[in-house]
Amino acid sequence: LRPLTLSSMGLSDPEETLDLWIDWGQLPYDVLEEDDGTLPLLERVKPEALPSPYREVLMAGPRPIYEMEQVIPGMNPDDDWDPVSEAAELMEMGDWPTAFRILRSLLSQDLRCLDGYSHLGSGIFDRNSSVDGAVDYYEIGVAIGDSFLHPLWQGEPPDRRSYLLPWGLIDNRPYLRCLQGLALCRWRQNRWDDAIRLFTDLFWLDPSDRLGAVAVLSLLESRTPWSPLP
């Protein structure tokens, strides 16, 4: 497979990340020492007051940010329409056969269409009592993404903690959705350690936590079984 391009977007700023966590209510203001307003946030933070995984991510310091190329066969960049969005809308309307046919056609044209795997996985996950079929799609999507991220790895493979793939950079979303889907499958299978590792990876990749990894981690630590949303 031709590698997906990884566009460098600079370095993360731990102070901006900490400010975001506090502004969004993810961390209480009392993780900071009282100050007259002259000290930078990072000099005011109390490491012992930071819960995991916030503490580890913050202490890791600046990390490189990347955006992964997204491939959608047949998409016209000058047109708002794309087949993945059409398939997602068909799923919402209950037309699963047509949606699945579109998504499988995309994968037959280009195996690097990671959103094809993510949406096929979510369709099976939401409809079936078993997650086996969903796991297959999510695992393939994650494995293909990892194969292109491999040059960035510095730690024990698969290393998803030496760099960021923020959710706010839209083309990162297919890979992040595959990773989240695989993590949800492991939770549903009561594979606690695997689920914890994957959701922790997700938070390291996207410290803004747009996919709610930290909330799930607290449930996993208490061994709370997965249940569908009401």
Read off the pLDDT of each residue in 77-102 and give the average, rounded to a whole number: 90
pLDDT at residue number 79:
74
pTM of the complete model? 0.94
Scanning the structure block, which residue is given the tokens 């991220």? 149
Inform me whether the pLDDT recorded for 129 exceeds 90.
no
Where in the chain are all domains bearing CATH 1.25.40.10? 69-221
Inform me whether the pLDDT recorded for 202 exceeds 70.
yes
Q: Which option is the CATH number for 69-221: 1.10.760.10, 1.25.40.10, 3.40.50.300, 3.40.50.1820?
A: 1.25.40.10
Side chain identity at 176, as an amino acid letter?
A: L
Half-sphere exposure of 9 (CA within 13 A, CB side): 19
Read off the pLDDT of each residue in 147-171 and give the average, rounded to a whole number: 95
Are 226 and 194 in contact, with CB atoms under 8 Å apart? no
The phi, psi pair for 192, rounded to 5°, reads -60, -50
pLDDT at residue number 230:
64
For the purposes of burial, counting CB atoms within 10 Å of the CB of 34, is it exposed (0-12), middle (13-18) or buried (19 or more)?
exposed
